[in-house]
Amino acid sequence: MKLGCVVMAAGDARRFGENKLAAVFNGKPLILWALEAVPSEEFFAVTVVTQYPEVEALAERFGFLPVHNPHPDWGISHTIRLGLEALGPCDGAMFQVSDQPLLRRETVAAEAAFFRAHPDKLVGLSHGGVRGNPCIFPAAYFPELLALREDHGGSSVIRRHEEDLLLFEASAQELEDADTRQALRAIETRQKLV
């Protein structure tokens, strides 16, 4: 089975107030945490969609395919389209965001294996029945993903097909995303208390 991965690292992060990917968490920028969480051996190709030249260079260092997004203002749908089209033909695609610093490589690999056992289902990482990211889409859903517009993402496709969604359980910490600087600091503080 040809499973690809799209790392979405293009947004302007308006709520964060600066380039979120460069924000430091436990001594490393968020984008580095995101790329290190990708188990490349699970995927035939990994695309990293970004507007930032430094992220493109980092993606190449990991052996991933950088995909330049000159229009992050066009919304997440444009990032999805660029990443999926750059993957080329495949049986499924995982979409991973870049602001979950505690996401573990082992968890992502296990989710990919779970999808391979259920190749016609949508799969979302979750905790306690609440879906988060990454999510994996079989190729049958690619036309719907490619038809998305503006800031509508994969969640809108999943909502139309809830009956085909399987949840893959992970820890609550792994699903936490840093939408704001305060959220990032809170994640860091909670981790130190563990």
What percent of the chain shows pLDDT beyond 90?
Answer: 80
The string of pLDDT tens digits covering residues 86-120 is 999 999 999 999 999 999 999 999 999 999 999 99
pTM assigned to the model: 0.94
Secondary structure (DSSP) of 81-132 = HHHHHHH-S-SEEEEEES--TT--HHHHHHHHHHHHHSTTSEEEEEETTEEE
φ and ψ at residue 172, rounded to 5 degrees? -60, -35
d(CA 31, CA 37) in angstroms, rounded, equals 10
User: Mean pLDDT across the stretch 132-156?
Assistant: 96
